[in-house]
Amino acid sequence: MEEKETVSPVPEQKAVTLPPDGSLLLSSSPHIRTSLSINKIMGEVMLCLLPAAVMAVCRYGWNAVRVIGLCMIFCAGWEMLWCKVTKQAQTVRDLSALLTGMILGLNLSPLLPWWLCLAGSFVAIVIAKQVFGGLGQNPFNPAAVARVALLVGAARPMTTWAELPSAFAQMDGVTSATPLTAASQAAAQHADLALYNSSDFLKNAFLGNIGGSLGETCTLAILIGAAGLISLKLIRLYIPLAILGTITVFVWIVNAAAPGLTPGPLFHLLTGGVMLGAFFMATDYVTSPVTNLGGVVFGIGIGVIVCVIRIWGSFPEGMSFAIVIMNALVPLIDKFCYKRPFGWNPVNAYQPRRGEIK
């Protein structure tokens, strides 16, 4: 055989260090791992929410800091209390409570009293997460559940919106309305909806010059955060694109079939909690399907429910409800949208049936 062989020189008798006995770590393969961890992921998501939070503080000032800060502190506090009372190891260190608090805060009005923040945090952490067994076991998105509970239980404070320092000219007379409420009222009275489709209004909606909860209004900030999420490979685009696509198509069909019922698709995309919900809440790992196909089905469902609630329902805002309803269907979606293993072939004679051990 033609091989190149090199004989290494005989090593001099030098003392070669070897690992001492009993010091080696024994564990199963693989022996290298990614440097990702749960608190790193949560921290990165909070970083991507920063643009929206900063915009909220710029527009609403101290109230924004108060609401978001209180929600985060209370969420962490409830989780620490729960772990102490149930004698478990503290889990606040995985930062999921802080993230839930931040999202919840961004979903609320800046005028919300502190005790409602406390109650909302209680619902989010204790009722929607810890009671089910903690992180990873909850079927419903905690922030969405808390918002739904507050909307249903304390409707008046939840729909009291603050006046903007530089509000859109025709809106500042109505301090308690968001464009969504105004549009649904206008549609109910068969008024002209052209205002809500005008490019001026849409530009203001994109930049956040409209009323609404803390984090929802500035679409630009949310999109910057979403770009961060995608570039850090934290979310996959299937769910958000499915939601936004479904809303666009649905509203376009409704507008074609029954004009005057509701403003155009761009209005629905840019107002209310759609953007925040699509990128930050519906994509929550624990409560969304695990496969990509499942995610698309999930997104389509959310889109349909949001449109139905907004157009025909009695609530002007439907994103949180839609997320919670679809969360309930996620186990079913996962059951039907699973993957077949590599090489599975129903026609092949040698294929072992599911459940048969080979």
Partner 1 sequence: MNSHHLPAAPHHFAGGIHPADGKAMSASGTIRIPPLLDKYFLVIQQNIGIPPKLLVKKGDPVKKGQLIAEAGGPISVPLHAPTSGTVGDTLDIPGANGAPVPAVEIISDGKDEWCEPMEPYADWRNVSRERLLARVKDAGIVGMGGAAFPTHAKLSPPPERAIDTLVINGAECEPYLTADDHLMREAAQAVITGAGICAKILRISHVLIGVEENKPEAITALRAAAKGIRDLSVVPLHVRYPQGGEKQLIYALTGRKVMAGGLPMDVGCVVQNVGTLAAIADAVINGRPLIERVVTVTGSPVAEPGNFRFRLGTPVRKALEFAGGIRKEVRKLILGGPMMGFAQSSLDVTVSKNTSGILLLAADEVRQFEAGPCLSCGRCVEACPMRLLVSTLSKVCENERYDLADENYVMNCLECGICTYVCPAGRPNVQHFRRAKAELRTMKRKN
Partner 2 sequence: MTNVILAALALAILGLVLGMLIGYTAKRFAVQTDPRIEAITELLPGANCGGCGYAGCADYARAMVEDGVSPAGCAVVSEENFQKISQALGQDSGKRERKVAVVYCSGDNGHARRVALYNGLNDCRAAAVLSGGGKGCRFGCIGLGSCARSCQFGAIELRNGLAVVHPEICKGCGKCTEVCPRKLIRLVSAETKAHVYCNSLDKGPAKRKNCTAGCLACRKCVKAAPDIFNAQGFLVRAREGAEISDELIASINCPTGALQSVADHLRSGKGKEGAA
Catalog residues that contact partner 1 under the rule CB under 8 A.
1-8, 10-11, 16-19, 21, 23-34, 36-38, 40-41, 94, 134-137, 236, 285-286, 288, 290-292, 334, 338-345, 348, 350-352, 354-355, 357-358
142 and 100 Cβ atoms separated by less than 8 Å: yes
Whole-angstrom Cα distance, residue 135 to residue 350?
41
Partner from partner 2, partner 1, none binding residue 1, C-beta < 5-8 Å depending on class:
partner 1
Q: Give the chain's radius of gyration (CA, Å).
A: 26
- Cβ closer to partner 2: 23 or 314? 23
- Could you give the angle at the alpha carbon of 192 between the alpha carbons of 254 and 207, nearest 5°? 80
Nearest-approach distance from CB 81 to partner 1, in angstroms: 20
Using the minimum distance from each CB to partner 1, give the nearer residue, 18 or 188. 18
Closer residue to partner 1 (CB): 36 or 194: 36
CA dihedral angle for residue 266, residue 219, residue 230, residue 324, rounded to 10 degrees? -80
The angle at the Cα of 69, spanning 63 to 75, to the nearest 5 degrees, equals 135
Q: Name which of 12 and 21 has its Cβ closer to partner 2.
A: 21
Nearer to partner 1, 181 or 288 (CB): 288
The interface with partner 2 within residues 14-73 (CB under 8 A) comprises 21-28
Q: Which of 244, 243, 167, 245 is nearest to 205 (CA)?
A: 167
To partner 1, the closest distance from the beta carbon of 339 in angstroms equals: 5
Shortest CB 83 distance to partner 2, Å: 20
Q: How many of the chain's residues bind partner 2 (CB under 8 A)?
A: 8
DSSP code string of 155-204: HHHHT-PPPPTT--GGGTT-TT--HHHHHHHHHHTT---HHHHSHHHHHH
> For residues 44 and 216, which CB has a smaller minimum distance to partner 1 in the complex?
44
Give the whole-angstrom CA distance, residue 323 versus residue 281. Answer: 8
3 binds, among partner 2, partner 1, none (CB under 5 to 8 A by kind): partner 1
Site residues for partner 2 per CB under 8 A: 21-28
